[in-house]
Structure 1
Amino acid sequence: MLQEGTKGVMGTTGKETGIWGIKISGVSLPLYLVMLAILVVTIALGKLPTTMMGPIAVLVLLGNLFHFIGNKLPIVKTYLGGGSVFCIFASAALATFGILPSYVVDATEGFINNMGFLDFYIAALITGSILGMSRDLLIKASIRFIPVALISMVVAFFAVGLVGMLIGNGFADSVLYVSLPAMAGGVGAGAVPLSTIYANFLGVDSADIISRLIPATAMTNVMAIIGAALIARAGESAPKLNGHGKLMEKGNLDNTKPKAVKPEISQLGVGLMVSAVFFLLGQVGNYFFPQIHAYAFMIIFVVICKVTNILPQYYEDSAVMFNNLIVKNLTAAVLAGIGIALLNLNVLASALTWQFVVLCITSVVTISVVAGFVGRLFGLYPVESTITAGLCNNSMGGTGNVAVLSASNRMELIAFAQMGNRLGGALVLILSGFLIQLFS
């Protein structure tokens, strides 16, 4: 029975109503505002801890707030990447314009760059995403879908480079700072490790690099979302080219769905260990072949284990559970951390030239057209091939895939979008280590 005094807060069914029914990451809005107020007072008093707990509180509370707002703003949520993009740029604005005190920004930068918070997130993301795929999907897709995606990426790579040469931007600068970040699979598992690879070889701070990478990732993501909606609409008038959510004209590849597991508390710790060990294997591979980044080795080892079925189901499920836990609860925090610690809005503003916009358009248009044409040759429906093998490989990873597929009403193809991002992104990371040496 409800206690007296809760009228207007709880309905007759026991559910929160009104303003209490608005929730940010599971917390009612009034209570969330109290939490934010406590954070603001702590920062104002100069008492925010500069150890782990301080930055975590800042990133979780601000990240979830900005992510919530971005998903509610009409134009932002539909065409500009929603909460993910808004979270990055709103957080970056707090740091760039001095709204956050310098000691908070410094502590957050240390947590992101020196304590390995991003490594922790990326390890869970890579391991869980790949082990969560169906083995049959991974093998069957390699015959048709993977070649289409890779051919499209290669053509787009050279197209951006050649256009860059024609407009005076240069081949090297165009492919390193527009083409590769556009195809790297988003921010967390794409632009961030890519910036680390560049920074290691150039001997500069990764913050300087990522401020040049994120504009391309964000811009091509926006274009991919808009393009998916337009292509899906145009496909309605061409029934022979449109699979209406079915990728292949023949075969049963579309019946393979990504793995879904129910959370089990006892396995979360196992998933943490599995992710950590794969991360360590990446470090070992990087020791013997320093030209190839540890993240790339990590992806390679996970794919090998998945294809050869070495890991028992229990451990795969554990990694998927841990990945779900981390992605669900820490993605907004990671995005806020990227904005505060790694994105300089002044550098970003200087990157938005007409040449940059032309190169982003070149990347999206080329990868789309090639994916549709080559997909047709490989027995795929051109509309679906264009969206999954093309546009999704110019989106911001998982969140970008959801936005692209939602815009085209083809969410059932999420497994292919994820696969193209992860495998294509892995190749981008592997090649980037060689290309940065070749062009620098």
Structure 2
Amino acid sequence: MSTKFKLAGIEMKYFIPICLVVITCTAMGKLPTGMLGALPLMIVIGVIFDFIGNKTPIVKDYLGGGPIVIIFLSAFLVYYNVIPEKSLAIMKNFMTKESFLDFYIAALIVGSILGMDRKLLMKAALGYLPVILGGVAVSVLLTGLVGFITGYGFLKSIFFIAIPIMGGGMGAGAIPLAQIFSTSFNQTPTELLAVMVPAVGLGNALAIVFGGLLDKLGKKYPSLSGEGKLLKSQEEIVEQDEDQKGIEYTDLGIGLLIATTFFAFGTILSKYIPIHSYALMIISVVICKLFGAIDPYYEGCCAKWFNFVAKNFTIPLLVGIGVAYTSIEQVLASFSLTYIVLVTTTVVGAIIGTAIVGHFIGFYVIEGSITAGLCMANMGGTGDVAVLSAANRMVLMPFAQISSRIGGAFMLLLTSLIINFVK
């Protein structure tokens, strides 16, 4: 195995010339329009910032590492006018008008849900989701109450801080939520994300810290901990690993077609049902999964497509979030002591709610709070790894994935429903 230093899987003797070509093309104003120019520039910027974030002490351990650094450093490039206006417009158009964001979200939601084991999904719905709901309810209401007391605002605290934190990270949480909220609150996604993105990042950091603290609490009070076991009377639940051997190119094409078709179907339904198309897409996918409407082969194709997209397009997507949806001016204006208190309240509320409901359902307090609470409040898959590592409970990864995948999708659905009552 080669030990040569690589970025984006590419050796430096190739990556450096690629960077030079892309940067020169950008500086000369000759960057091609559309995905042909946007993707290489976003990938080059993203992999460099990702490396910085994953190597910086404190940032890599407590503040989300690469993802959060990519978003904010990309936003600072815009803030300091480092990127030429023409190239900046190409990236922004690619994210918004050319629907790269929707493309990514469709792959994420369809592939992650169809890629789950059906039995695991059913058990999650029957036993695990009520615990998630308890954590969400306490977190949201407690944050709203503190927001009301501090003068920040009851609804503002709930919709712009608590729900984004509990919504499954950036790509499946804050970003689609900003799209949903933009219509209801008559604000642009950029204005909304200026408040949401720092909340999600800080919430992720606090979730990691609290994961370590809950581990210590479990050691001090052994009756609260199952030492990695979630239910006192649980059966072994192991998520099926997607067999990635021998992937055919046609598998990825099939996954792409099915994912984008589900997105189109959600758009059709949204014309007749007053719920956001993302939520309707989620409902459609879950129903198909639970009733076995899709052949396992095609489900596997969707899961493979999701893995391909997540592996190759997450970094440029994060750059796009920083460039097109994150305003440093508005982010700086959002920060205050009250803001930090509200973010902390959200994470603590998630712990309290899952501990209470989990106790009555038969969950161990520590494990229930970590998986159904902190893994809802972190930044998706990378947050799951960080939280479970801090808590020394990597064996709980299947349940953490339920929180990140199904829990995040549930938050989008719930928000789409309740937003109609507060317009």
- The question of a shared fold, defined as TM-score above 0.5 by the shorter chain, is answered with yes
Cα distance, 1:205 vs structure 2: 2.6
SS at match of 1:257: coil
CA distance in 2, matches of 1:279, 1:190: 16
Deviation string, structure 1 residues 10-29 (Cα, Å, up to 9, x no partner): xxxxx544xxx111121113
Question: Is the aligned partner of 1:62 residue 2:49?
Answer: no
Q: Could you say which residue in structure 1 is the equivalent of 2:95?
A: 112
CA distance in 2, matches of 1:32, 1:173: 45
Question: Is the aligned partner of 1:395 residue 2:378?
Answer: yes
Letter in 1 for 2:321: I
Cα distance, 1:135 vs structure 2: 0.8
Cα distance, 1:140 vs structure 2: 1.4
Q: Counterparts in 2 of 1:64-213, with a 5 A limit? A: 64-213=47-196
Q: Could you say which residue in structure 1 is the equivalent of 2:239?
A: 257
Cα distance, 1:100 vs structure 2: 0.8
Q: Could you say which residue in structure 2 is the equivalent of 1:12?
A: none
Question: Is the aligned partner of 1:266 residue 2:250?
Answer: yes
CA distance in 2, matches of 1:309, 1:355: 47
Cα distance, 1:435 vs structure 2: 4.3
Whether the aligned pair in 2 keeps the contact of 1:270 and 1:318 (CA below 8 Å) is: yes
Cα distance, 1:234 vs structure 2: 2.3
> Structure 1 residues 415-424 or 394-403, which shifts more?
415-424
Letter in 2 for 1:322: W
* Structure 1 gaps, min length 5: 1-14
Whether the aligned pair in 2 keeps the contact of 1:367 and 1:391 (CA below 8 Å) is: yes
User: Stretches of 4+ moved more than 6 A in 1?
Assistant: none
CA distance in 2, matches of 1:286, 1:160: 30
Cα distance, 1:374 vs structure 2: 2.0
CA distance in 2, matches of 1:373, 1:216: 25
SS at match of 1:163: helix
Cα distance, 1:202 vs structure 2: 3.5
Deviation string, structure 1 residues 268-308 (Cα, Å, up to 9, x no partner): 1111111111111111221111x311111111111111111
Letter in 2 for 1:281: F
In structure 2, relative to structure 1, the CA distance for the partners of 1:384 and 1:95 (3 Å cut) is same
Q: Could you say which residue in structure 2 is the equivalent of 1:241?
A: 224
Cα distance, 1:201 vs structure 2: 2.7
> Structure 1 residues 398-407 or 75-84, which shifts more?
398-407
Letter in 1 for 2:366: V
Q: Could you say which residue in structure 2 is the equivalent of 1:284?
A: 268
Q: Could you say which residue in structure 1 is the equivalent of 2:33?
A: 50
Q: Could you say which residue in structure 2 is the equivalent of 1:10?
A: none
Cα distance, 1:309 vs structure 2: 1.0
In structure 2, relative to structure 1, the CA distance for the partners of 1:433 and 1:227 (3 Å cut) is same
Q: Could you say which residue in structure 2 is the equivalent of 1:8?
A: none
CA distance in 1, matches of 2:112, 2:206: 25
Question: Is the aligned partner of 1:29 residue 2:19?
Answer: no
Cα distance, 1:266 vs structure 2: 2.5
Cα distance, 1:261 vs structure 2: 2.0
Cα distance, 1:203 vs structure 2: 3.8
Structure number, greater radius of gyration: 1
Q: Could you say which residue in structure 2 is the equivalent of 1:5?
A: none
In structure 2, relative to structure 1, the CA distance for the partners of 1:437 and 1:301 (3 Å cut) is closer
Cα distance, 1:437 vs structure 2: 4.6
Cα distance, 1:436 vs structure 2: 4.1
Q: Could you say which residue in structure 1 is the equivalent of 2:309?
A: 326
Whether the aligned pair in 1 keeps the contact of 2:115 and 2:300 (CA below 8 Å) is: yes
Letter in 1 for 2:268: V
Cα distance, 1:428 vs structure 2: 2.5
Letter in 1 for 2:266: G
CA distance in 2, matches of 1:261, 1:211: 39
Q: How much identity, in percent, do the aligned residues show?
A: 39
> Structure 1 residues 233-242 or 123-132, which shifts more?
233-242
CA distance in 1, matches of 2:42, 2:388: 28
Letter in 2 for 1:131: L
CA distance in 1, matches of 2:204, 2:240: 23
Whether the aligned pair in 1 keeps the contact of 2:109 and 2:409 (CA below 8 Å) is: no
* Structure 2 gaps, min length 5: none
Question: Is the aligned partner of 1:377 residue 2:360?
Answer: yes
Q: Could you say which residue in structure 2 is the equivalent of 1:11?
A: none
Q: Could you say which residue in structure 2 is the equivalent of 1:4?
A: none
Pairwise CA RMSD of aligned residues?
1.5
Whether the aligned pair in 2 keeps the contact of 1:282 and 1:295 (CA below 8 Å) is: yes
Letter in 1 for 2:254: V
Whether the aligned pair in 2 keeps the contact of 1:136 and 1:256 (CA below 8 Å) is: no
1:363 to 346, 359, 362: 346
Question: Is the aligned partner of 1:316 residue 2:316?
Answer: no
Whether the aligned pair in 2 keeps the contact of 1:149 and 1:390 (CA below 8 Å) is: yes
Cα distance, 1:51 vs structure 2: 2.4
Cα distance, 1:142 vs structure 2: 2.1
The count of residues paired between Structure 1 and Structure 2 equals: 421
> Structure 1 residues 273-282 or 109-118, which shifts more?
273-282
CA distance in 2, matches of 1:33, 1:410: 39
> Structure 1 residues 342-351 or 98-107, which shifts more?
98-107
Letter in 2 for 1:430: L
CA distance in 2, matches of 1:200, 1:43: 34
Letter in 2 for 1:128: G
Q: Could you say which residue in structure 2 is the equivalent of 1:6?
A: none
Cα distance, 1:209 vs structure 2: 1.7
SS at match of 1:133: coil
Deviation string, structure 1 residues 386-406 (Cα, Å, up to 9, x no partner): 100111111112222222122
Deviation string, structure 1 residues 129-162 (Cα, Å, up to 9, x no partner): 1111111111112222110111110111111111
Cα distance, 1:70 vs structure 2: 1.0
> Structure 1 residues 232-241 or 319-328, which shifts more?
232-241
Whether the aligned pair in 2 keeps the contact of 1:67 and 1:87 (CA below 8 Å) is: yes
In structure 2, relative to structure 1, the CA distance for the partners of 1:212 and 1:328 (3 Å cut) is same
SS at match of 1:255: coil
Q: Could you say which residue in structure 2 is the equivalent of 1:350?
A: 333
Whether the aligned pair in 1 keeps the contact of 2:252 and 2:304 (CA below 8 Å) is: yes
CA distance in 1, matches of 2:419, 2:195: 14
Cα distance, 1:259 vs structure 2: 3.6
